Structure 1
Amino acid sequence: MRKLILDHALLPSGWAQDVAIDIDGGVIRAVQPHASPEGREHVAGVALPGLPNLHSHTFQRGMAGLAETRGPASDSFWTWRQVMYLFLQNLTPDDVEAIAAFAMMEMIEGGFTALAEFHYLHHDRDGRLYADPAELAARIAAAAAETGMGLTLLPVFYAQGGFGGASPTDGQRRFISNVELYTRLVEGTRKATATLDDAVVGIAPHSLRAVTPQDLNEVLAIATDGPIHIHVAEQMKEVEDCVAWSGQRPVTWLLDHVPVDQRWCLIHATHLDSSETGRLAATGAVAGLCPITEANLGDGIFQGVDFLSAGGRFGVGSDSNVQISASAELKQFEYSQRLKHRARNVLARREGDSTGRSLYEGALTGGARALGRRIGAIDHGHRADLVVLDANHPDLAARSHDRWIDAYIFVAGKAAIDQVMIGGEFVVTKGRHNQREAISARYARTMARILA
C-alpha cells in the first residue's frame, strides 16, 4: 500500500487540500481530504487527474514537420496523406516501437496518462503478413510497457480504398485486412497486451470510406466488449463522397444504420449539420477531437458550442502527434471556437465558470469513456493517474483553485508539469520522464536512418 499526502487536488467534489490517498495495485483505494501527513509520502504542488489521450497514430510522430512544404497545387489532408504513405514505406517493427515509445514519453511529459492508440499499420513493407499478424500491435504494447503509458489498443479494420468498394492504393497495402484476418489480428492484440497492467482492447473500423456496410456489421459482431472508434466526417470531401455513394452524410448514415451508443467514439466529426449534432449528442457517444491536428490539416472547426449545449461528450487526442501537449489540445479547442464565434470563454459551462476547468473536466469524462477504463478521477476505484503541477511556477504562483487550471491550459502549458504518476508510480519528475535519455537516443538513431 502506497500512502500519499497531496498539497492540493482536484477531486470529483471539487478542490481540496491535504488530501490523503491510499494506492494498492495501481488503484486508488481511499481518498481523504484535510488529512494528517503523518506516515505519508508528501507530494507538493497541485494534483490533477491524468488526462486521457483518446486518439493517436504514434508512428506519425516520426513524420512531424515533413509535410510543411507547399506543393504545386492546393495542399490538403489528401496531399498530406501521400507524404504519410511515403514515410511508412520503410518502417520496420523496431522503428515502430522506437517511435511509439518516444511519442508516449512526450505524451506523459505533456500531461496525458492514458492512450487510445488507433493502430492501423499492420503488415510488412510489401504488404505481406508478419509471422505474427499482431507483430506491430505487440510493438505498441512494448512501448507502453517501457514508458508506463496506460493503454487502450484499437486494431483498425481497413478493407478498401474509398466509398463504393474502391480498390486500395499501393500506399495502403500495409493496412488492408479482410474480416477473417482482422479477427485473428484482434485475438493477437489481446495476447500482446495481456501482460500490461489494466490494458483494454477495442476495435476500430477505420472509416466509412474504408469498410463496406457488410464488413462493418461483421466486425461489430466481434466487439462483444470494449470501445469502438471510427473516423468520420473529418473532411468535406469525405462528406461529399459519402453523399454521392449513399445519399446521406456520413454521421447520418452511421446513426441510421449502426446502433451507436456510449461505447462509441466518433473521431473528428468535424462536419456536422444541426440534426447530426443533436442526434450524436443524444447517443452518449464521445466526439473524439484532435484540435491541433485538425488545424494542421486544415480540416475545419467542430460544432463545439452546439454539441456541448445538446449535452454531448468530448475528449481530446494528439492524432498525428505534430505537437504533443494535453493543455495545448484543450487550448486549441477553445480558441477555434473563439475564432468561429468571435467571442471569448465560449466553452465554459455557465456564467462565472472557469473555461480551463470546464475543458479539463469535460475531456476527463469523455476521454475515460472513450478508453473504456476506470480513469480520469482522483477517486476510490480509479487508476492512480496524477498530473502534478508546480505551484511555484511563475504562472501559477499567487493563484489558486480554478485559476491554476486556467494558467496551466492558457499560459504555462506543459512547462508547469512537475510530476506525473501512472498506476501508482511516478514516471515523470521535474518535468522529465525517467527513461527520457534512453528513449530519446534510440528515437534519434531511428530517425537518422529513416531520413538519411
Structure 2
Amino acid sequence: MAGKSSERLWFDHALLPSGWASGVAITIERGLIADVSVNVAPPSGAVRGRSVLPGLTNLHSHAFQRAMSGLTEVRENIQDSFWSWRTLLYRFVSRIGPEDVHAIAAMAYAEMLEAGFTRVCEFHYVHNDEAGARYADPAEMAGQVVRAAGDTGLGLTLLPVFYAHSGFGGQPPLDGQRRFLSDLEGFATLMDAAAKHGANQPDFVLGFAPHSLRAVTRAQLKALLAMDKAGPVHIHIAEQAQEVADCLAWSGARPVEWLLHNADVDARWCLVHATHTNDREIHGIAKSGAVAGLCPVTEANLGDGIFDGRGFVSYGGHYGVGTDSNVSIGAADELRMLEYSQRFKTLSRNVLTGEGFASTGRSMFEHALAGGGRAAGISVGLAPGNPADMAAITDAVLPEAAMGDDRLLDAWVFRAKSGAISDVWRRGEHVVQGGHHIHRPAIEARYKACLEALLA
C-alpha cells in the first residue's frame, strides 16, 4: 500500500514528543512527516480530527497463532500449563501452508492497525514444509508475512527465528519442531532470502531471533551475533519457572543471568517475557539498555507469571508491549493488563506511574512508544522525518476527557471498549477509517475460508 505523495491533517489535540499540543497541523510528504505546526487554524482542505496519538509498535507477535484464538481453552491434563498448550500448538502448526500464513497474518495485522498498532515485530519461526524440508524459496513462509504486512499497510520488523534444539545444552529437536529448524548455513541463506522479500517494503527492518536459550547452543548464539551486528535481536527468555530450573541444572545460572554473562546484550536487544527474574537480573537488563518485551495478555492466558515491572522501572528499564499469541489484539488491552498485573503483585494501585507523569496511562504509553521503537529498530513519534504513523481516538471513549491531556490516555487504557480507535494513518495512508480497516471485508473472508479448511 502506498500513501498519497502529499497530504495535510489537522487535529484539535495531538501528543507530540514535547507533550500535548492543540491546533496541530501535520504535513505528510511521501509517507513521512514533513512538518508539524501547533496552535494554528485548520489549513484549507486538511483532513480534520479530534485527538491523535503516535502509533505504537507491537514488539512481539506470532501472527499464525491468531488462528488458534479460543481453541485451546479446554483442560486436557490435571495440570494444564504452557507446556500442554505447546503440544496443541505443534498439532496446529503441522497443517498450515504458505497461503494459510498469508491469510492468518493479514487478519492479525488488520486487527493490530484497528487497535492502534502501526508496526509489528514478527517473531517468525515457521520456515519449513510439513515434512520439515526447506521450500524452494528458503524464505517462502517469511515472504507470506511480508506480503500480509504489505497488503494491510502495517509496518514490519521481521525477525526470522533460529531454532535448532529442544532443550538446554543442544538436546535433539522434537518431531513437532521440524517446521522450525535451521542450521547456521541454512539460516544465513534464509536471512538473505527474507531480505529480498522485504526490499520493496517501505521502512522494512530485518533483525533476527535466537528462539530461546533452549533452542540454541552457546556456539550457535555467538555465530548468529557475528552474522548480524546491527539489526534488532529478540529472544524468548525466562518465560516459565521450569525454564529457569532447567537452565540452572544445565549451567548453574538462571537464564537472564547466563545471557548477560555470555552475550553483549545492549540496546538492540529485546528480552521477551523475562518473567521469572530476580532483582539482580532485572537490574542487569535495565543497565544493558535492552528492552523488556512484555506480553501481559498472553502471559496471563498461558499462566506464565508476572514480571517485576515496579522494580524494573525503578532501575530505569525500558519496556514495550506485544500481543504474542494474538489470543486477543489490543494496544490498550496490553497496557491495562500490564498495570493490573502489577496491582495484583504489589497489592497497590498506579504502580507503573513514573518518569515525571502523574498519569499511569501516559507513563505506560510513553514507555511502550519508546521501548517498542527501540525493539523495532525505528524512530517513533509525531516529528518531522518520522513515518506518518498515528492513531485517532474517537470521542466515544470518554467525551468529557477528550480535551487533549493525559486524562484521554487514562480513559483509553482503563475505560475504553473496543472500537476506541477511529482512524489510523500508516505512512500517511488512511488504513483504518471509522474503526475498521479499509480492506477488512476481503481480509476477513479469506481468513474465515482458511480457518474452515484448517479445522475441517
CA RMSD of aligned residues (A): 1.1
Cα separation, 2, equivalents of 1:191 and 1:350: 41
1:236-315 to structure 2, matched below 5 A, reads: 236-315=241-320
Does residue 397 of structure 1 match 2:400?
yes
Choose the corresponding residue for 2:39, options 22, 34, 42.
Answer: 34
**TM-score of the two chains, using structure 1 as the length reference:** 0.98
The residue type paired with residue 141 of structure 1 is V
Choose the corresponding residue for 2:421, options 414, 417, 423.
Answer: 417
Partner of 2:3 in structure 1? none
Cα separation, 1, equivalents of 2:291 and 2:401: 36
Q: Please report how far the alpha carbon of residue 36 of structure 1 lies from its aligned counterpart in structure 2 after TM superposition.
A: 2.8
User: Matched residue of 2:260: which SS?
Assistant: helix
CA contact (8 A) 1:66 1:83 kept: no
1:89-147 CA-to-partner distances (Å, cap 9, x unmatched) read 11010001000000001111111110000000000011011000100010000000000
Q: Please report how far the alpha carbon of residue 225 of structure 1 lies from its aligned counterpart in structure 2 after TM superposition.
A: 1.7
Does residue 225 of structure 1 match 2:230?
yes
CA contact (8 A) 1:264 1:285 kept: yes
1:408-442 CA-to-partner distances (Å, cap 9, x unmatched) read 11111442111000001110001000000000000
Partner of 1:361 in structure 2? 366
Partner of 1:13 in structure 2? 18
Does residue 49 of structure 1 match 2:54?
yes
Structure 1 residues 390 and 165: alpha-carbon distance in aligned structure 2, compared to 1, 3 A threshold: same
Q: Select between 406-415 and 188-197 the one with higher mean Cα deviation.
A: 406-415
1:261-287 CA-to-partner distances (Å, cap 9, x unmatched) read 000000000011111111110011000
CA contact (8 A) 2:401 2:407 kept: no
Partner of 1:331 in structure 2? 336
CA contact (8 A) 1:7 1:45 kept: yes
Cα separation, 2, equivalents of 1:447 and 1:199: 28
User: Matched residue of 2:416: which SS?
Assistant: helix
Q: Please report how far the alpha carbon of residue 224 of structure 1 lies from its aligned counterpart in structure 2 after TM superposition.
A: 2.6
Structure 1 residues 189 and 167: alpha-carbon distance in aligned structure 2, compared to 1, 3 A threshold: same
Cα separation, 2, equivalents of 1:222 and 1:398: 50
Cα separation, 2, equivalents of 1:38 and 1:268: 45
Q: Please report how far the alpha carbon of residue 4 of structure 1 lies from its aligned counterpart in structure 2 after TM superposition.
A: 1.6
Q: Please report how far the alpha carbon of residue 20 of structure 1 lies from its aligned counterpart in structure 2 after TM superposition.
A: 1.1
Q: Select between 310-319 and 8-17 the one with higher mean Cα deviation.
A: 8-17
Moved over 6 A (4+): none
The residue type paired with residue 387 of structure 1 is A
Choose the corresponding residue for 1:349, options 354, 360, 372.
Answer: 354
CA contact (8 A) 1:408 1:414 kept: no
CA contact (8 A) 2:397 2:417 kept: no
For structure 1, list consecutive stretches of 5 or more residues without a partner in the other structure: none
Does residue 66 of structure 1 match 2:66?
no
Q: Please report how far the alpha carbon of residue 23 of structure 1 lies from its aligned counterpart in structure 2 after TM superposition.
A: 1.1
Q: Please report how far the alpha carbon of residue 352 of structure 1 lies from its aligned counterpart in structure 2 after TM superposition.
A: 6.5
The residue type paired with residue 241 of structure 2 is M
Cα separation, 1, equivalents of 2:265 and 2:17: 28
The residue type paired with residue 276 of structure 2 is H
Partner of 1:428 in structure 2? 432
Partner of 2:117 in structure 1? 112
CA contact (8 A) 2:98 2:140 kept: yes
Cα separation, 2, equivalents of 1:40 and 1:94: 41
CA contact (8 A) 1:396 1:408 kept: no
Partner of 2:156 in structure 1? 151
Aligned pairs, how many? 450
User: Matched residue of 2:231: which SS?
Assistant: coil
CA contact (8 A) 1:386 1:422 kept: yes
Cα separation, 1, equivalents of 2:418 and 2:30: 28
For structure 2, list consecutive stretches of 5 or more residues without a partner in the other structure: 1-5
1:352-410 CA-to-partner distances (Å, cap 9, x unmatched) read 710001010110000000000122x111111110110012x152335431111111111
Does residue 121 of structure 1 match 2:94?
no
Choose the corresponding residue for 1:216, options 211, 215, 221.
Answer: 221
Partner of 1:160 in structure 2? 165
CA contact (8 A) 1:230 1:266 kept: yes
User: Matched residue of 2:235: which SS?
Assistant: strand
Cα separation, 1, equivalents of 2:156 and 2:247: 32
CA contact (8 A) 1:109 1:414 kept: no
The residue type paired with residue 226 of structure 1 is G
User: Matched residue of 2:20: which SS?
Assistant: strand
The residue type paired with residue 286 of structure 1 is V
CA contact (8 A) 1:107 1:113 kept: yes
Q: Select between 351-360 and 227-236 the one with higher mean Cα deviation.
A: 351-360
The residue type paired with residue 430 of structure 2 is F
User: Matched residue of 1:359: which SS?
Assistant: helix
Partner of 2:387 in structure 1? 383
Q: Select between 396-405 and 211-220 the one with higher mean Cα deviation.
A: 396-405
Cα separation, 1, equivalents of 2:355 and 2:367: 13
Structure 1 residues 130 and 149: alpha-carbon distance in aligned structure 2, compared to 1, 3 A threshold: same
Cα separation, 2, equivalents of 1:93 and 1:258: 34
CA contact (8 A) 1:328 1:413 kept: no
CA contact (8 A) 2:32 2:385 kept: yes
Structure 1 residues 77 and 17: alpha-carbon distance in aligned structure 2, compared to 1, 3 A threshold: same
User: Matched residue of 1:151: which SS?
Assistant: strand
User: Matched residue of 1:288: which SS?
Assistant: strand
Cα separation, 1, equivalents of 2:71 and 2:169: 31
Partner of 2:28 in structure 1? 23
Cα separation, 1, equivalents of 2:384 and 2:280: 39
The residue type paired with residue 324 of structure 1 is I
Structure 1 residues 123 and 310: alpha-carbon distance in aligned structure 2, compared to 1, 3 A threshold: same
Cα separation, 2, equivalents of 1:37 and 1:274: 51
Cα separation, 2, equivalents of 1:135 and 1:104: 19
Choose the corresponding residue for 2:452, options 417, 430, 448.
Answer: 448
> Kindly, what percent of the aligned residue pairs are identical?
52
Cα separation, 1, equivalents of 2:340 and 2:125: 30
Structure 1 residues 208 and 352: alpha-carbon distance in aligned structure 2, compared to 1, 3 A threshold: closer
Partner of 2:81 in structure 1? 76
Partner of 1:134 in structure 2? 139
Q: Please report how far the alpha carbon of residue 220 of structure 1 lies from its aligned counterpart in structure 2 after TM superposition.
A: 0.7
CA contact (8 A) 2:267 2:374 kept: yes
Cα separation, 2, equivalents of 1:323 and 1:88: 19
